[in-house]
Copies of this chain bind each other. A is one copy, B any other.
Amino acid sequence: MTPDHPRDRIVNAAMDLFWRHGYGATSLSQIREAAGVQGGSLYHFFKSKEQLLEAVLDAYLEQMEAVLIQPIVERHDDPIERIFALLDGYRQLLAGAGTALGCPIGDLALESGAEPAAVGEKIAANFAAWRGWVRRWLEEAGARLPGDLDRDGLATLVLTVMEGGVMQARAHHSLVPFDASVAQLRDYINRLLAEAPPARRRTRMRRAQPRRG
């Protein structure tokens, strides 16, 4: 509970180091040192390195809404813009880290190909939560998008752009591939919006109907 509770310090240090160096390349000693705890204390909270990884993945999932989603929702009303704001938030993360780093979850997904079920499930849960928000926003866009659009599929593509974009950004040490991917996605979605019937009715219904009753 306390902001500097050892357990939290450990998880935070692990989040940072796993992100920067990867799971396998981060030693528990490094985490211990970064967290400022000593000796075998780490094993009072996590009975193995893998359990610490699970805690890190839990933390990502818990923090997601507060840290990533909420600020976007507050700043943007248009659900479509929220999606691109999410991608842009990612871009800023990359820009800040000098493209040396990638997606924290994606990197862990890579390393845990053969990891036991628990870790794999938590990674999938993180991805699923992410995609869930995007899909929700796509659904909120209502009739502005074609009726037969596979909204879950498009949400998947958004996440794909994120992950594939960051991977190439890292490979080229440049944000250009990330930006290009997002630009193409924007073009695609613009075309979907353009094709949809003039969005008057649906939008009105959502905002005007209540007023009528």
Contact = CB atoms under 8 A, between A and B. Distances in A.
A201 interface: no
Interface stretch (A68-76, A77-85, A155-163): A155-163
A168 B172 CA distance: 21
A110 B167 contact: yes
Contacts of A191: 188, 191-192, 195
Interface stretch (A9-17, A18-26, A30-38, A205-213): A18-26
Given A21-B114, A105-B171, 20 more contacts: A22-B110, A24-B24, A100-B113, A102-B113, A106-B110, A109-B167, A109-B170, A110-B167, A113-B170, A120-B173, A124-B171, A150-B183, A152-B180, A156-B177, A156-B184, A159-B164, A159-B168, A161-B164, A163-B163, A164-B164
A89 to B, nearest CB: 17
Nearest to A120: B173
A111 B160 contact: no
Contacts of A102: 110, 113
Contacts of A52: none
A167 B170 contact: no
Contacts of A180: 150, 152-153, 156-157
Interface of A: 21-22, 24-25, 100-102, 105-107, 109-111, 113-114, 120, 123-124, 127-128, 150, 152-154, 156-157, 159-165, 167-168, 170-173, 177, 180-181, 183-185, 187-188, 191-192, 195
A95 to B, nearest CB: 15
Contacts of A185: 157
Contacts of A159: 164, 168, 177
